[in-house]
């Protein structure tokens, strides 16, 4: 009945309803509701959607969004955001913005005005620009890294994905070494091997992932760490270890060490050799608090009976078949009743999933023939691994990662 009633509404009715929701959420925000800001963003987007005509929505999607993506990537190379913030954010002409790279002022004008139309820059007058809050964010290398990585690693895959799917008869990609990424980039190996061969993109990836995490709830904000990890911790040998499996260059363990000083057991970072090399160059293991260990998670887990094996954004990189191998290697090393696997990953809603999760799902299909998973898909995956079960799923806020606790049956 609700569907039918909405079908019979006029656009005026739909706009009025959406506007009322914006007013309600705005009032809650002004009254100090901590959750109201996110609700206001959602209702404002709904108001925009209802206010646009279908043709306006079409043009926004096929014209504006691709333009915004490419303009942002070129603007990073042209140092437009950084230059705009220079000299105390004084207004800059196209010529002044172009001077940083000796670029054509005409080209800079075309890129800068596109960024301004997408609110990445403010246009104070004809050909005169000043930074806004987003400009200042993008002027920082760790945030510009997000644009570099997402564009350089996925743009070919996205552009060639329709052709790839047509070539497979529209089958869901499941082979991480023969999917959209390999089709588009003429690359025989996994996207990760391509990434390590492209140092700028590789560095941007690690900087972007670390920076993004600082704006989202930590897994230690969701999971009862003191009750589940600190209490009952055995301090001898491998039993004391918290192992970050496939943990990048160690930011998660560094944050954990700062947040949970009560955890006095070993902290072990496991990664492939080239990533451990990057972590070493960043002095991650210099204090000896974090141990660096070269390990491929498709091989047997060398640390036996650890307190916990942590995986952040690891399993979403792989289809189910490979995930079962990764989990199986860890399960064989676990001590039943003591060890756990802690999976920090997205858990998609079955209906009206968060745009962050949906967007990331497409990125993972483009990069690794993998996916984000719903709660039912997580249970199906874990239960397909002999001897493992989910003990609980912990979440905080829409669009963030959750913490999935897995134990031995």
Tell me how long the chain is. Answer: 409
Residue-wise pLDDT for 14-62, tens only, equals: 999 999 999 999 999 999 998 899 999 999 999 999 999 999 999 999 9
What is residue 287's predicted lDDT score, i.e. its pLDDT? 86
Q: Are strands 402-408 and 340-345 parallel, antiparallel or unpaired?
A: antiparallel
266 pLDDT band (50/70/90 cuts)?
Answer: very high
Contact between 332 and 339 under an 8 Å Cβ cutoff? The reply is no
Residue-wise pLDDT for 197-224, tens only, equals: 898 998 898 888 888 888 888 999 999 9
More confident of the two residues 99 and 8: 99
Residue-wise pLDDT for 285-332, tens only, equals: 888 899 999 999 999 999 999 999 999 999 999 999 999 999 999 999
Cα 58 from chain centre: 27
Catalytic residues: 316
For 125, phi then psi, to 5°, come to -165, 180
**Local structure of 335: helix, strand or coil:** coil
- Does residue 148 carry a pLDDT above 60? yes
- Does residue 1 carry a pLDDT above 50? no
Q: Note the helical H segments in 31-176.
A: 36-51, 54-59, 65-77, 80-84, 86-89, 94-99, 105-117, 133-138, 141-167
What is residue 215's predicted lDDT score, i.e. its pLDDT? 86
C-alpha neighbours within 13 Å on the C-beta side of residue 328: 12
Q: What is the fold, at CATH topology level, of the domain defined by 76-138? A: Arc Repressor Mutant, subunit A (1.10.10)
Single pTM value for the model: 0.87
What is residue 6's predicted lDDT score, i.e. its pLDDT? 60
Residue 344 to residue 373: CA distance in whole angstroms: 12
Q: Note the helical H segments in 260-342.
A: 273-281, 320-331
What is residue 356's predicted lDDT score, i.e. its pLDDT? 92
**Average pLDDT over every residue of 160-166:** 97
**pLDDT-above-70 percentage for the chain:** 98
Residue-wise pLDDT for 233-263, tens only, equals: 999 999 999 999 999 889 999 999 999 999 9
CATH number for the region 216-408 comes to 3.40.50.150
What is residue 126's predicted lDDT score, i.e. its pLDDT? 93
For 344, phi then psi, to 5°, come to -100, 105
- Does residue 383 carry a pLDDT above 70? yes
**Average pLDDT over every residue of 126-153:** 96
**Local structure of 259: helix, strand or coil:** helix
- Does residue 185 carry a pLDDT above 50? yes
């Amino acid at each position: 009945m609700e569907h039918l009633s909405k079908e019979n509404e006029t656009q005026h009715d739909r706009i009025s309803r959406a506007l009322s929701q914006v007013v309600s959420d705005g009032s809650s925000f002004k009254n100090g509701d901590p959750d109201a800001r996110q609700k206001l963003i959602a209702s404002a987007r709904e108001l925009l959607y209802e206010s646009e005509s279908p043709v306006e929505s079409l043009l926004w999607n096929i014209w504006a969004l691709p333009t915004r993506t490419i303009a942002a990537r070129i603007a990073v190379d042209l140092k437009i955001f950084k230059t705009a913030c220079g000299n105390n954010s004084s207004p800059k002409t196209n010529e002044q913005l172009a001077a940083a790279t000796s670029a054509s002022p005409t080209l800079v004008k075309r890129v800068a005005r596109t960024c301004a139309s997408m609110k990445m820059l403010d246009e104070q007058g004809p050909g005169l620009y000043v930074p806004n809050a987003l400009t200042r964010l993008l002027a920082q290398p760790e945030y510009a890294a997000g644009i570099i990585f997402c564009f350089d690693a996925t743009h070919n895959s996205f552009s060639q994905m329709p052709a790839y799917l047509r070539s497979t008869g529209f089958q869901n990609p499941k082979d991480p070494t023969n999917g959209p990424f390999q089709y588009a980039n003429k690359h025989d190996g996994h996207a990760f091997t391509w990434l390590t061969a492209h140092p700028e993109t590789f560095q941007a990836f690690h900087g972007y992932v670390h920076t993004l995490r600082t704006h989202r709830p930590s897994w230690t904000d969701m999971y009862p760490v003191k009750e589940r990890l600190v209490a009952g911790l055995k301090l001898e040998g491998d039993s004391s270890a918290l192992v970050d499996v496939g943990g990048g260059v160690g930011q998660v363990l560094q944050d954990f060490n700062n947040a949970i000083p009560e955890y006095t057991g070993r902290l072990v970072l496991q990664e492939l050799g080239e990533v451990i090399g990057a972590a070493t160059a960043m002095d991650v293991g210099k204090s000896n608090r974090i141990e660096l260990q070269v390990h491929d998670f498709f091989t047997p887990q060398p640390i036996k009976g650890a307190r916990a094996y942590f995986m952040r954004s690891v399993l979403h990189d792989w289809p189910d078949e490979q995930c079962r191998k990764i989990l199986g290697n860890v399960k064989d090393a676990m001590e039943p009743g003591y060890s756990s696997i802690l999976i920090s990953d997205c858990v998609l809603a079955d209906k009206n999933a968060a745009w962050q999760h949906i967007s990331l799902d497409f990125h993972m299909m483009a990069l690794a023939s993998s996916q984000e998973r719903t709660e039912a898909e997580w249970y199906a995956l874990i239960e397909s691994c002999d001897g493992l079960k989910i003990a609980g799923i912990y979440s905080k806020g829409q669009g963030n990662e959750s913490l999935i606790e897995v134990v031995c049956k």
